[in-house]
Structure 1
Amino acid sequence: MGVTSVSRPLPRLVPAEALADVPADRLLAVLEAVTMVLTLPHHAAGRVDALVVPTGQGEDWRLTDAIGVWESGPALRHLLVANTDPAERTYRPLTLDRLRGLGLRRTDGVVLQTEPITGTGRQAAWIVERVRALGIGSAALVVSPYHLVRVYLTVLRACDDAGVRLPMVPLPVAVAPDAPVPETGAAGYDLVAGEVSRLLRYPGQGWIATPERLRDYLRWLWAEHRPLLTGA
């Protein structure tokens, strides 16, 4: 089943009391997803085929972290960089020159989504298209910590919709949780409630993998790709 449209965008800044009436089992499902995704072995990023960077919110630290890993990991075959919403105040065109200004030297294998798009779901669809076209066998998602789990679940949903099986590991960007995000000025701490709101709502709207699907996927990932995860 393809993704459905969201009736209206959810705000990025959500007060904690907005979650007061959420049933405990649904909050536990979110906590489970956050825990199990973020604790996948980060060092496995050095063994994947591709680094994947969904840009946005003016967070160049996503790019600088990914470029640092890319330049220090010659075994990495691809660096996929997804574009973002041109309506963002901090939007800048995604070009090789921009990435060179952030330290990129090795351009062979770099693939940019040059056309602007809106929404994490559309970023994920492009990522999966590139994975299929390039024959990518595994990937690490380079994203700010507050946003990483939703990206992971969105790409997983896009993989399912496209019939693609892709081992994925998270690679959280090294950024302080109180660092202001350029687009909003809000810190990572402040953006967590908005992400939780999306993690609660989006499975039912077809944008992200459900808790049950995540469990199935992680079971498969650990059973079939343990050497990738552990290096053993």
Structure 2
Amino acid sequence: MVILKPICSLFVLFCLSFSSWANEVKVTYWDELVPSMELIEDPFQKLDRNQMFDMATIARFKEAQAEDGFVASDKARQEIVDVTERLKKQDVDVEALFVARAQIMKQREALGSKPNAEVVGSKHRIPGYITPIEMDGTKVTKFFLVPSAGACIHTPPPPANQLVLIDFPEGIELVSLMTPVWVEGQLTGHQSKENVNYSDGAANVQSVYAMKADGIEQYQP
């Protein structure tokens, strides 16, 4: 029995250490909040500068055609015919490029508007900056955690999956919008829209993540 005591002690220490490791909160950075997606190859990258200019000319004409009351002149129509023919002679499929353009735009929108299912439902420790939504005296109780200082206030809001709506009823003293923090808690996929005051007005800002914070502290690398 004397021999077994050290073994039992080691086993207990191992279990405690394993439990501590298992409960350790994962440090998560903003690029990990973007869902993984196989990107469509961008065919525009194969065009030279002149071909890109011609494609932009056609794109502007198509956009103008979509406007109410637009009437194209004969000269403008002929220019588009000539540009299209020139591209065709260079083996550039104009219509196929516009189809690819629409798909790429749709994919980029999805990349910015959907949560990453791989990070939802588990605890994370995320660095960022505070954009206040609700205050209790001098304490912030509800805010957007954002990747850059002043986002949503001095600059347009980031994509919806680059904001996390944080609920922290006990509140945290707001030192400065430029002061980074660590926020820790369970990340959930939750679509929300909150009113944020800009430097020159206010706007509804959307997020696809939410977290009821377990703790917040000033950022230390």
Question: Where on the TM-score scale, by shorter chain, does this alignment land: which range?
Answer: under 0.3
Pick the structure with more helix per residue: 1
Greater RCO structure (CA 8 Å; 6+ sep): 1
Pick the structure with more strand per residue: 2
Larger Rg computed on CA atoms: 2
